[in-house]
């Protein structure tokens, strides 16, 4: 049986919150965090890894420098976008997110992830 390693990296600090902007990029601190991530993984051999990102600008801006360091394309997959919340107005998303994140279990039975690699 093959063993696969998956690195999950959360985006850097966003320049605005949900209620303030639909798709904020990184703040100055978030850009610094993305640079620090790239520098901290410089000694790792990630040449065989695929680089996949959410379509959210903050996620792309976090992942792009790392992908560039390894001369990789950054594949964008909408399945990694957000917690499904299309029916929640942006002005209410902060409160909604706080509420669901405080619950013990969050279920995403209707979320289907694409096949992005084969084993």
- 24 phi and psi, to 5 degrees? -70, 150
Residues 15 and 24 sit within 8 Å (Cβ to Cβ): yes
Residue 11 lies in a domain: no
Residue 116 lies in a domain: no
Residue 83 lies in a domain: yes
For residue range 28-69, list pLDDT tens digits in order: 999 999 999 999 998 889 999 999 999 999 999 999 999 999
Concatenate the DSSP letters of all residues of 24-68 into one string: --B-HHHHHHHHHHHHHTTTS--TT--EEE-SSHHHHHHHHHHHH
Range(s) of the domain holding residue 40: 28-100
Residue 53 lies in a domain: yes
Q: How far is CA 103 from the centre of its chain?
A: 22
Give the count of domains, the chain. Answer: 1
Residue 59 lies in a domain: yes
On whether the pTM is more than 0.95, the answer is no
Q: How far is CA 112 from the centre of its chain?
A: 17
């Amino acid at each position: 049986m093959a063993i696969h390693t998956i690195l999950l990296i959360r985006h850097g600090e966003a320049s605005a919150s949900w209620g303030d902007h639909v798709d904020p990029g990184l703040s100055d601190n978030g850009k610094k965090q993305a640079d620090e991530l790239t520098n901290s993984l410089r000694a790792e051999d990630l040449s065989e890894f695929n680089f996949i990102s959410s379509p959210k600008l903050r996620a792309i801006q976090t992942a792009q420098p790392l992908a560039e360091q390894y001369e990789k394309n950054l594949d964008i997959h909408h399945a990694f976008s957000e917690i499904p919340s299309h029916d929640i107005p942006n002005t209410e998303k902060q409160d909604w997110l706080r509420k669901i994140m405080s619950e013990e279990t969050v279920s995403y039975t209707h979320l289907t992830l694409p096949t992005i690699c084969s084993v």
